[in-house]
Structure 1
Amino acid sequence: MPRLTTAIPQPASPRADGQRHSLLPLGQALLKQFPNSHLHLAILVALATASLIAFAVPIASSQASTQPASSPPLTAAGDGLIAALRTQAQTVAGIIAPSAGDATPTQAYSRLGVVGGARLVPPSLLAAAGQLAVGGAFSKGRGYASMVIQRQNAVSFTIHQQGLSSSHASSQVTVGQALAEAGIRLTDADSVSPAPESRLTPGMHVYVAYSNSVRLIVEGQERLTYTHGATVGDALREAGVQLEATDRVFPPVDQAVRPGMTLSVVTVRETHEFSEEPIEYGTVYQQDAGVALGQKIPVRAGADGLVRREYRIVRINGQEVKREFLAQTIVPAIDALVAVGTRAAAVVQPALAPAPAAAAGDVLNCVRSLTVYATWYTAASAGGTTTKTGTAVYKGIVAVDPSVIPLGTRMYIPGYGYGLAADTGGGIKGNMIDLAYAA
């Protein structure tokens, strides 16, 4: 007879719907079929009682665990299947109910009826137990007892870890439970293949890869990480650290990883960088006699130039430690060109009265006389047609040094005639005069 192991809390209120339990007619049929078996009657009573408790007592659900029960549960007498009520009862139904080759609960439980070569329980009574486990309260997922299932017969499997292989046998259902039973404790960073929640099957090979905790320092930033890598280089790749040939790694990348070791990476990066400095363009004014005097016409647009410099920069852990000047390229600016007109408008020059002929013995009525050095100029050579006093440039206009000859002074120049001091010039200093149109 299978043995169920369960922890039973205080019962709640009994079933109050007033209906007969569905297993009672089944029990009566069993008594009729096996009237001489007191053992069968006791089993039937136990089944009915368990069914009433299962329906009347809601047992809090819990998560599946690979750990053994913390306290010994109550047991019913008998040998065979051991079921501790600690994982979802629905799991029980999936394990001891019809498998891929079974069509009904009766067939599944009929195979459990023979233990040690002797038939202990009639097939029909085992079918009732199957119906209780599969279709009764234990088949519901939430709000009922959680159960940990053990197999009736242990299965053999092989554990591979740290380069060693060992054979084991376990009655646990999953890989994780079997590993826990074997004393293997895993962390979240360890890997197991097949997965811990996979069903344990006979002859299975289970591979356990333990992770190593290492202290990783990259560019001065420290963090704790876990790795399955065999070498320092493998551990850095798993951590997402991309190395370059110039980087410094301590210990070397080919050294084996040990738990708790410190890995230090100093990045040494060399780059070529460029800087650009603009050169502003200027404006060139060019005189053009074909353009009216004073008019400005843009001839060419300007364009800025630049100075481009190339540097080799070395950074250690992201900080610049060296900057080396390599080359310089200059792109010259293009100046803007503007034409300035110099063409003067025609000016009607008033005719000056010729100097009167001096009679013999006559003397000109002058305030004073000066001996000066005389030059001549035109409006074109002077760069304009307007004098210092605002008059036009024509014959008879004389440029003077106002400190010597005040502007507005009328004068007589032998060989030139009468003149008017109405203009100045940068080169007219002292006893010097500049005669307009003297040639």
Structure 2
Amino acid sequence: MIQNARMIIKRVGQSSRALFCASLLLALLIVSTLVTAKTDVVLVSDSSRTTAVLCVGSAPESILQKQGISVGPGDLVTAKSHAAGGLQKITIQRAFPVAVQAEGGETVVWTTASTVRSVLEAAGIPLGEEDVVAPARGELVEDGTVISISRVTYAEAQHTEEVPYGTQYEETSLLGPGRTQLQSEGQNGEKLVTTRTRLVDGTPEGEPQVVAEEITVEPVDEVVLKGKERAMVSTLRFGDVPIGDDGIPLSYSRVMKGAITTGYSVKPGQGTASGRKPVPGIVAVDPSKIPYGTRMYIVSSDGSFVYGYAVAGETGSAMKEGRVDFDLLYATYAQSCAHGKRALDVYFLD
């Protein structure tokens, strides 16, 4: 249509009246063309400056290019449309530089983010849960903000430590009241200790913290005998035969006063003639006179020493030859020596 108007003007030549009519016709044709093309007025907001732009159905990028408005790395461009579908407003949010210092280096990030956390997320810079960040993760950022990140890691180490042994006291009437005697020596154990050290950018901070302990060698307590009157030596117990306040069984079949007794011990793994387990309380007898399995209670006449409940379960030449009546089993050789040779009262319980 515009081309046809131009041809009309050329034909009429210098006629002023014709020229006026042709110009009016050309203007009407231009307006008609713009209306037909759905011309829009778009607001372009760039930082604090807003400009109205007349455009015909262009994309935001094309509009900005025609207006000579450049968009840099990190700039954020958003477009808002009319309800009818045409462009209404283009907003440009300009990126600003933020320096991120981490692992001994510095990176400049151009961003439109508002907080430290969002800047780092947008830049793809990961954070550990315990990493130290300054300013804090939720703080606002601006042009020139410097974000420093101190990486927090942990280093584990292991070492061995000695586990000191303890002392167990066993009361016995074998010794006088208040006296003590070492029955068995103690032995220290060993444990594996795991520690964890906090590292900030690879530098240890604070003392290592113990996070685990594992006993690799169990300690063995020393055992000390402690003298006490009427403390029983035997580990055996007969619930059906209680002992009275006078230190004598409440029921028994007979008593052998002043029996000659000695003490003995056994080596690890050694058994007995009767097949019973060798524990304090097993006594050696002449089985032709006292059958294996016979139950007894052995005590000094004044009640100060108590061997206690006993069972005939072993024999020996001294008993068969009549030189000794009973040989009493002890936990250690030292205790058996301490017993020596004693005259004791033997109560038969069966």
TM-score (structure 1 length as normaliser): 0.31
Larger Rg over CA atoms: 1
Work out which structure has the larger RCO, using CA pairs closer than 8 Å and 6 or more positions apart in sequence: 2
TM-score (norm 2): 0.37
* Structure number having the greater strand percentage: 2
